[in-house]
Structure 1
Amino acid sequence: MIVYHYCSLDSFNSILKHRSLRLTNILKSNDSMEISWICRYYEAEFKKAYKNTSDLFKACISPERFRGYVKLFADEFFDENYADFRYYVTCFSYQNDLLSQWRGYADDGRGAAIGFDLDVLKEITTVSPEISKPSIVSLHKISYSEAEQREVVHQIVKELIAEIEEMLQKEREYSENAKNSQDCKIELLDNVMSCFERKFMELFQESVYMKNPFFREESEIRLCEFSPKQFLMGREVKLSQGARLHNYSYYVRENQLISYVDFDFSDCFEKLIREVVIGPKCLMSQRDMEFYLTTLGLSDCQVNKSQGTYR
């Protein structure tokens, strides 16, 4: 199977010449609801979950403290001004000739769509966490189903509450025999915060794979890297097939600096690039495109022209 990266002709030329694709900070996406879409679910889910907690839970963690935890970690992961983590993504579509993609991502149809071999992409991203640590690299299909999204959030919040309930029960049994209950309480609150941090990290990671059903026709799949900010600069993440993530840097867009990382696929270039679709407004002929690709060593790459009459 092939998935398609829509882009302008300038970007198309740069990607193929440098054999590299740019992953950008998702918190700087053009989609105003990117990442924060999940917030529609988890705020209500946390509120409902707290109401159903045990008396012991409510006695140990007040509603104000509970809301404070939620706010603290929501800021840490979802607010660009506070976030200690970065998610870098680049997007592909299962659709090879979609008007909304041409309009939105390929210079209003003047660009092209690069067809990437999905099986090779999967091989590249199937890398041991110990090798990519502390980064997490993944290739994930986007969910547009609100029912599926709500269930994911429900399960994460449910697991969080269950972990804390178990922790509180053990702590009560232990503190009855402990000499210094104050030390126990401080340790307990530290452990509760650790639980919140772990589960909010899961929520943040899942949020990258959730989008408004309005975008369903895009049929999107994403290549992602998740990493703490302090480990980004100057490092390199080696992937399978000789690919790598490197060159963490910035570029300027709309009067702001946007961070990015380069996905270098030089070593598997010919295996990875399988097709090119010329946009409906692009003036390149199929013959010219075929010759251009042969100069890059892509003699077996299929070239097609959009069937759209969009002008």
Structure 2
Amino acid sequence: MLIKRYFRPRKNDLIYHYCSAETFHSICTNNTVRFSDLFSMNDFLEIHWGYQIWQKAANEIFDEVTEEFLNKVDEIISGSSLSFNFLASCFSLEGDVLSQWRAYADDGNGYCIGFDARHILGLPSTPLKVLYDEKKQIAEIIDILRKIYKFESEAKEDERYGKDFFEICALLSADLTSFKNPAFKEEKEVRLIHILTFEESNTYLKLVDKGGTYFGEDYDGQEVKFRMAKNLPIPYIDFNFINKNGDNPIKEVILGPKNDSRLTAIAVYLETLGIPNVKLRNSTASYR
């Protein structure tokens, strides 16, 4: 839906993932990146912020469309949590930002991994550049709503609000996950979204990965796993990032401002694991 914000990297562009030492070790030894439930991300408004933007856009466009149309869209967006579960893997366009060291890399003790951007987009996901400007967020949703309304208005009466309408609005609800509070704009985030679906299971529901395109080839999905955050189970999937040619996308590693490891030790570690020719450097951020 938000074609203008699809992340389209150039050759040799990197995107960065800040993490603790434990997560760094897990990524390097397992060759995986984790897609985790958006509801469990650090910003408690991850999902709710996007819904608030949708409400503001709907109010602004109220006189241009019918109330029935807006209600139909809202039914799908507000009910999306009962139909879909959004997983995300979060990256940044910047690899050495103090606020991110503090928030995502064990208060500066961790690492930041620079991945080959084109390579990592081979994972089954929708890559979106996060938008932080509230006015632009509202304008984007209004533009999409106008297009959906025009499409539905031109459809035959018995074909309105059918399968196509549901799928478009479901995509819209996914796109809302790439809106964030302006307070986070320094992060310059690129968010990779992967969608799980709910299926009936006995008298309840279960999460299912329906698959997608994995390095240019179709795959049937994989097992959904969980981790515990205090007493709450959080769904996730770890995707292997080694492509069929055996290429590893890790190209750079930055040590956090409080990370006292020697660069030579990390170089030996990576080479021993079979991750070759990685550029290594220390953070230039002053933080002790």
How far the C-alpha of 1:240 sits from its partner, in A, is 1.0
**Residues 222 and 66 (structure 1 numbering): CA distance in 2 closer, same or farther, change over 3 Å?**
closer
How far the C-alpha of 1:266 sits from its partner, in A, is 3.2
Partner of 2:7: none
SS in 1 for 2:128: strand
Partner of 1:88: 87
Is residue 254 of structure 2 the alignment partner of residue 277 of structure 1?
Answer: yes
How far the C-alpha of 1:21 sits from its partner, in A, is 1.1
Paired residue for 1:15, among 11, 27, 38?
A: 27
- For residues 266-303 of structure 1, the C-alpha deviation after alignment (integer angstroms, 9 at most, x for no partner) is 34665401011111111211111111111111231111
How far the C-alpha of 1:67 sits from its partner, in A, is 6.2
| Contact residue 226 and residue 235 of structure 2 kept, 8 A | yes
Partner of 1:152: 140
Paired residue for 1:165, among 145, 150, 153?
A: 153
- For residues 83-129 of structure 1, the C-alpha deviation after alignment (integer angstroms, 9 at most, x for no partner) is 2112211111111111111111111011111110112223x14xxxx
| Contact residue 36 and residue 235 of structure 2 kept, 8 A | yes
Q: Using the alignment, how far apart are the partners of 1:225 and 1:42 within structure 2? A: 21
SS in 2 for 1:45: helix
Higher helix share: 1
Runs of 4+ in 1 over 6 A off after TM superposition: 241-245
% identical aligned pairs: 28
Partner of 2:282: 305
**Residues 247 and 266 (structure 1 numbering): CA distance in 2 closer, same or farther, change over 3 Å?**
farther
Segments of 5+ residues of structure 2 without an aligned counterpart are 1-12, 200-205
Paired residue for 1:259, among 228, 231, 235?
A: 235
Amino acid at match of 2:127: L
How far the C-alpha of 1:196 sits from its partner, in A, is 5.2
Is residue 211 of structure 2 the alignment partner of residue 223 of structure 1?
Answer: no
- The residue correspondences of 1:186-201 to structure 2 (distance < 5 A) are 187=158, 191-192=160-161, 194=163, 197-201=166-170
Partner of 1:179: none
Q: Using the alignment, how far apart are the partners of 2:153 and 2:211 within structure 1? A: 40
How far the C-alpha of 1:263 sits from its partner, in A, is 1.1
Is residue 166 of structure 2 the alignment partner of residue 204 of structure 1?
Answer: no
SS in 2 for 1:51: coil
How far the C-alpha of 1:241 sits from its partner, in A, is 7.1
SS in 2 for 1:192: coil
Segments of 5+ residues of structure 1 without an aligned counterpart are 58-62, 126-135, 172-186
| Contact residue 88 and residue 192 of structure 2 kept, 8 A | yes
How far the C-alpha of 1:162 sits from its partner, in A, is 2.0
How far the C-alpha of 1:198 sits from its partner, in A, is 3.3
Partner of 1:176: none
Q: Flag the structure with larger Rg.
A: 1
SS in 2 for 1:246: coil
SS in 2 for 1:35: helix
Partner of 1:239: 214
Amino acid at match of 1:96: G
Is residue 93 of structure 2 the alignment partner of residue 42 of structure 1?
Answer: no
Partner of 1:6: 18
- For residues 179-227 of structure 1, the C-alpha deviation after alignment (integer angstroms, 9 at most, x for no partner) is xxxxxxxx56xx3365653342132121122212211111111222124
How far the C-alpha of 1:147 sits from its partner, in A, is 3.4
Q: Using the alignment, how far apart are the partners of 1:119 and 1:74 within structure 2? A: 31
SS in 1 for 2:55: helix
Q: Using the alignment, how far apart are the partners of 2:64 and 2:92 within structure 1? A: 41
**Residues 269 and 31 (structure 1 numbering): CA distance in 2 closer, same or farther, change over 3 Å?**
farther
Amino acid at match of 1:205: A
Amino acid at match of 1:154: I
Q: Using the alignment, how far apart are the partners of 2:236 and 2:214 within structure 1? A: 17
Deviates more, 1:212-221 or 1:25-34: 25-34
SS in 2 for 1:165: helix
Paired residue for 2:125, among 137, 162, 169?
A: 137
Is residue 75 of structure 2 the alignment partner of residue 69 of structure 1?
Answer: no
Partner of 2:267: 290
Q: Using the alignment, how far apart are the partners of 1:296 and 1:208 within structure 2? A: 35
